[in-house]
Amino acid sequence: MNTLPDYVSFLEELSSIKFSEKIRLGLERIEELLHRCGDPHERLKSIVVAGTNGKGSVTAMLSNILKTEGYKVGTYISPHLCNIRERIMINGQWIEEEAFLEVGKMILEEAKQMYDSPSFYEILTAMAFLYFSKRNIDIAVLEIGLGGRLDAVNVVHPIQSIITTIDLDHENYLGNTIQSIAREKAGIIKEGTVVILGEEKEEAVKVIEDISLENRAPLYRKGRDFDFNVKKFSLEESIMDFRDNKTYLQDVKLGLKGEYQFLNTSVALEASLLLNDLGIKLSEKSIRDGIKSARWRGRFETFELEDKVVILDCAHNPHGIRALVSSLEKLFKGKKICFVFGVMRDKNYIEMLRELSKIASRLILTTIKENDRALPVDVLLEATKEIMKGENIPIRGIESPLTALREGISSSEDVVCFCGSLYLIGKILEENGEIGGLKSFLKK
């Protein structure tokens, strides 16, 4: 049976919902929607991952470790890079078009009967829960979309609540202090749930500790209960030692690149080791192999083109950009770096540009016209020139990301790094397929 026309029509209907609304936080709509569908989320054993940055990488590593051990693992992420089916996976495989259409129609039919219509994100979240329930997965690893307390994913009662990092982002929704953002992220901590925290800022830790105590939720903190030591960091190989209160793992090889992945890996390792105490048995071999073979597109994704190194990184807030700049400084000391930068208008792009200016030898600014949230090139160009006043850094604005791509590759710099927005990286990948496809594109 050819489901393609129905699938395309369904995507169009979903898109019409997405582009006709603003972000709407709250659990009332998702709870009613799921109840209408038999509360599939209550039948799932789950792990919830929140954080300003790093939550996608930890979700990917943890899912891969569980899969390597032989568990049937459902993974839910947000947003996607290229294809909406990326958001809902079992053992690393996207949900099939037929299944996406099947569960999607069921969820949408119930949603249309509700007085307060669910959002695009809430519909997709409900679809993931229903799909995972129907497929009888062993465990779900669920990435929070925004914040934690009022995110649609937070209807579950997980066996683990993971918080990677806490920094300023989405201030309009989460507050403009570390404490307020920490409080929102800590909303995923439920009664008796094991909590793993990668953040060490004192003001964030205090909030998380208090909320964990209130919920009688045992808290495992980076720097106190677990830590790591970097053994090697290069483009070819990243190796670390890890220790916690019970275990010492030497020479753990990372599959994900970027200096910031050491912290993310330590969080994934601690979560994996603690799962053993919760009845989810994981061998040391599965943990090591799962970390080494983990892949996550658009996170310091690197390839070589002739005499250039090209990097795609989804850093999309000041905290992420600082981590990216730190990695580039260590890996490419003395090399010239060209940044191709596009950003959403609700981000702190001024601070992001200041960070990039510390190591940039060239800046190419672009946008994603199809996205209403994208900052126009002329606004970005004007802001950049003001920030870079007195700096001898060539700056150019190019409307098309693909033209900006070619411009960056043809520049004289040694390294070309695309960053600033998940949507920018997604646009480049969407037009050119997998990373290797860029090579053929650039020869056109």
Tens digits of residue pLDDT in 92-151:
999 999 999 999 999 999 999 999 999 999 999 999 999 999 999 999 999 999 999 999
37 — phi, psi (to 5°)? Answer: -100, 10
CB count within 10 Å of CB 205 equals 20
The pTM for the full model equals 0.95
Gyration radius (Cα) of the chain, Å: 21
| Topology (CATH level 3) of domain 4-293 | UDP-N-acetylmuramoyl-L-alanine:D-glutamate ligase (3.40.1190)
* Cβ proximity of 315 and 321 under 8 Å: yes
DSSP state of 78: S
Boundaries of every domain in the chain:
4-293, 301-442
CATH class of the region 301-442: alpha beta
pLDDT in tens, 208-220: 999 999 999 999 9
- The helix or strand, by DSSP H or E, that contains position 233, with its residue range, turns out to be strand 226-233
Low-confidence ranges of the chain (pLDDT < 70): 1-3, 19-21, 431-444
Q: Provide the pLDDT for residue 21.
A: 60
One-letter amino acid of 61:
M
Place of tokens 């669920």: 142
One-letter amino acid of 260:
Y
DSSP state of 372: T
Collapsing DSSP to helix, strand or coil, 75 comes out as: strand
Q: Provide the pLDDT for residue 83.
A: 94
Q: Provide the pLDDT for residue 216.
A: 98
